Amino acid sequence: MKRPLFHFALRLFYLSWLATLVVIPIQPAAAQDSATATNDVFLPLVAGGSGAAPAGLYTQISARVAQMCGATGLNQICYVNGTVELTNAGGANFSHPGDIADLIDGARISVASTGATLEQLSIAWLRLRAYAGAPDQGLNLLLFGNVEITDLALFTTDADLEKPTTLPSLHLASIPIDGVAALGSSGVVVTNPAEEELLSLTVNNAAITLGSTALIEATPGAEMKVTMANGASRTEAGGGESTAVQNQQVSVPLDGNGNATGTPTTARELTDDEFLEQMLDELLQKLRDNIALANRALERLNLATDRCIAGQARYIYNVLYWSRVIERTPGVKPLLNKTLLAQAYSRAANCLSFEVVFDSTVQTTHPDLRMTSHLNMAGMPVQFLLDGRFIAINHSLDYLSYEYVPSASCGAIQPSRTAGELEMDNAALEIVGNRVRVATTLRVAQQPTDFATITCPPAPPLVVGQQHWVSVFYHLHEAEWQKPDPSFRFSDWKYLGGENFAETIVVRNITEGGFTFDATTYLILVHTPVK
């Protein structure tokens, strides 16, 4: 009866001894016996436990860029690999990987590849300056495969914000590499390396704003595809916009010249096959946690709101951007906690708080007469909501001065004036490219009155110059006048981005029947966050 126990003990000892042999190969080499260390039985265990999978193509490309192009400055190009041609003023030749050249407006870049391995790919690396609140911010562009860039227009100073096109701007054409079946064999990987900034550029007349990384492919005569590798994007073209997050794609129709001809499509999810068939296999990773992605958008909204309320008015753009990502990107808003979202939107309204300052001077001149009316509205409170509504409080329109000065007078002149009142009839804040567009419609809820009384005894007093401001202002603001209502729409605001967030100045002058009429209207949108 004791023999089975003896056999069991032997087997237990034998198994324990085998276990010690399995552990030996993963000990430090100095602790191993030479005979044991070369035992073929244990080598597969060592290899399986410590070996790493080969780096993917995108990782290899990124490593080469990091090795070759660390000294690349803003608005410069770095030659990485293969056949890359740059046509600048006077031309430019690349002879060695790591060569760097300055970019200029109108530059043309051509990249041509023969295959899908690292050595067959042609690669260029660009850093393009973009507008941001922080200085010296830029987008990184990785050109690979078969790509051509034309009509390059650079962003150099903040004065470029006044240009109608969001800069930097370029035209892109990408052609799949012959014999390569994988998706995404040619294109541009655009990366915004500034985690807390939103940077914009224009590609094929479509403005794209990124807080992230996107793969852009463009086929003239067909479409441009913006595929999100991470983060979020906003694409606008043809009067429409579309937002997307990681693993989603937006398309824009292109004509034969590569120009956007319509609005972007609603973002769609990539299919499993599209993930598996990507040439840059490590660039696009299938997202596993959609809730975390949605919460990240909410976190970015709250961060932008905090900074905006603290007085950094440029983050108004970020607040509007992230609210649109939440509202307009498929699959994001339903994943968010409704209470937390409502709290975030309520706080965002504290950021979107302003005062409108209105100042108007009109003047009439004639060889025998000069009249001047100067009115001012010190600050009308306006608060915008993220759903497009606004709240405003009517404000008095006060006279700063009124003058009636004839070339000659028979007696005393007594000017009279009565304040009016303005109300906000309509108002909107919209993000367009890399700036915020402001539009307001002010209604003259109560007309101001002005006139002069000339007393020349024994004649009765003579009332002259009635309704001077109303007559001249309405006449010289025909373009803004929303007839027949006494409302005036001002949409040509200049984006400033500071405490004086935006302004518009309208200067008009006409001469009729010997009289010259002048009007200068000045509006300022002053940021007044509620802390």
Give the integer Cα–Cα distance in Å for 334 and 326: 9
**DSSP secondary structure string, 128-193?**
EE---SSSS-EEEEEEESEEEEEEEE---SGGGGGSSS-SSEEEEEEEPPTT--SB--SEEEEE--
Which phi-psi region, left, alpha or beta, contains residue 326 (left: φ > 0; alpha: ψ -120 to 50)? alpha
Q: What is this structure's pTM? A: 0.85
Strand partners, 488: 442, 481
Per-residue pLDDT of the chain (531 residues; tens, 9 = 90+): 333 333 333 333 333 333 333 332 333 333 333 333 333 222 222 233 445 557 899 999 999 999 999 999 999 999 999 999 999 865 667 889 999 999 999 999 999 999 999 999 999 999 999 998 778 899 999 999 999 999 999 999 888 888 889 999 999 999 999 999 999 999 999 999 987 899 999 999 999 999 999 999 999 999 999 999 999 999 999 999 999 999 999 999 999 999 999 999 999 999 999 988 999 988 988 776 889 999 999 999 999 999 999 999 999 999 999 999 999 999 999 999 999 999 999 999 999 999 999 999 999 999 999 999 999 999 999 999 999 999 999 999 999 999 999 998 888 999 999 999 999 999 999 999 999 999 999 999 999 999 999 999 888 999 998 999 999 999 999 999 999 999 999 999 999 999 999 999 999 999 999 999 999 999 999 999 998
